[in-house]
Amino acid sequence: MNLFAITGNPVLHSKSPILFGAAYPSHADTFAYFRLAAQSAAEAGLLFDELGLSGMNITAPFKSDAAQLAGLRAPEVQALNACNTLALEHSIKCCYNTDIFGVLGSLEEAGVAIAGKRCLVLGAGGAGSAAAYALHTAGGAVTVANRTVDKARRLAESTGCSFAGLSDVAGIAPQTDIIVNTLYKGVDVIDEAWLKPQHAIVDAIYHGSALQAKAQRVGCKFIDGAGWLLHQGVPAYHRFTGIPPDVESMKKATLTQKLPKHISLIGFMGAGKSTVAPLLAAMLGIPAVDIDATLKARCGVDIPQLIGEKGEAYFREQERAVLEEALAAAAPSVISCGGGAATQPLLSKRLKENSIVVWLYASPERCLSRISVDTRPLLAQHANPQQAAAELFEKRKFLYAKTAWMLISSAARSAEQVSRLIYDEISKAING
Amino acid letter, 121:
V
* Interatomic CA distance for residues 287 and 297, integer angstroms: 17
Residues 183 and 72 reside in one and the same domain: no
Say whether both 25 and 140 belong to one domain: no
Same domain, 295 and 388: yes
Please report the pLDDT score of residue 255 as a whole number: 57
Range of the domain at 49: 3-97+230-253
User: 258: which DSSP letter?
Assistant: P
Q: Dihedral angle at the C-alpha atoms of 45, 47, 50, 54, nearest 10 degrees?
A: -70
Residues 285 and 413 occupy one common structural domain: yes
pLDDT of residue 260: 84
DSSP summary character for residue 184? P
Q: How many Cα atoms are found within 13 Å in the side-chain-facing hemisphere of 209?
A: 23
DSSP letters of 325-346?
A: HHHH-SS--EEE--TTGGGSHH
- What is the pLDDT at residue 223? 94
78: domain CATH number is: 3.40.50.10860
Amino acid identity for residue 252 in this structure = K
Give 336's Cβ-side CA count (13 Å radius).
Answer: 23
CATH of the domain at 307: 3.40.50.300
Q: What is the distance between the alpha carbons of residues 67 and 97, in angstroms, rounded to a whole number?
A: 9
pLDDT, position 253? 65
272 and 407 Cβ atoms separated by less than 8 Å: no
Q: Are residues 89 and 175 in the same domain?
A: no
Query: Do 322 and 375 have their domain in common?
Result: yes
Angle ∠(111,117,118) on CA atoms, nearest 5: 130
Residues 309 and 423 in one domain: yes
Same domain, 280 and 398: yes
Q: What share of the chain is helix, strand, coil (3-state, %, to 5)?
A: 50, 20, 35
Angle at 302 between CA 297 and CA 308, to 5 degrees: 135
| pLDDT at residue 427, rounded to an integer | 86
| Sheet with 72-73: strands ordered across | 72-73, 92-96, 85-89, 53-57, 3-5, 19-23, 33-37, 406-409, 355-361, 262-266, 334-336, 288-290
Tell whether 248 and 330 lie within a shared domain: no
Query: Mutual orientation of helices 225-241 and 99-109 as an angle, nearest 10°?
Result: 120
Judged by DSSP in three states, 165 sits in strand
User: What does the pLDDT read at residue 220?
Assistant: 94
User: Which pLDDT does position 363 carry in this prediction?
Assistant: 94
Q: Residue 199 belongs to a domain with what CATH number?
A: 3.40.50.720
Rounded average pLDDT per 10-residue block, the chain, 432 residues: 38 32 46 83 90 84 88 91 89 92 94 97 93 97 97 94 96 97 91 96 88 94 90 87 79 66 94 96 96 92 86 89 95 95 92 95 92 74 83 91 93 95 87 61
Cβ–Cβ under 8 Å, residues 182 and 151? no
Per-residue CA distances from 301 to 290, 296, 305 (Å): 15, 5, 6
Please indicate, yes or no, whether residues 426 and 298 belong to a single structural domain of this protein.
yes
Report the pLDDT value the prediction gives residue 94, as an integer from 0 to 100. 93
Domain co-membership, 158 together with 245: no
What are the start-end ranges of the E strands in 217-314? 221-223, 262-266, 288-290
Q: How many structural domains compose the chain?
A: 3
Active site residues: 63
Rg (Cα) of the chain, in Å, rounded? 24
Write the single-letter amino acid at 290. Answer: D
CA distance 365 to 309: 29
Residues 128, 171 within the same domain: yes
* 373 contacts 380 by C-beta, under 8 angstroms: yes
Reduce the DSSP state of residue 151 to 3 states and report it.
helix
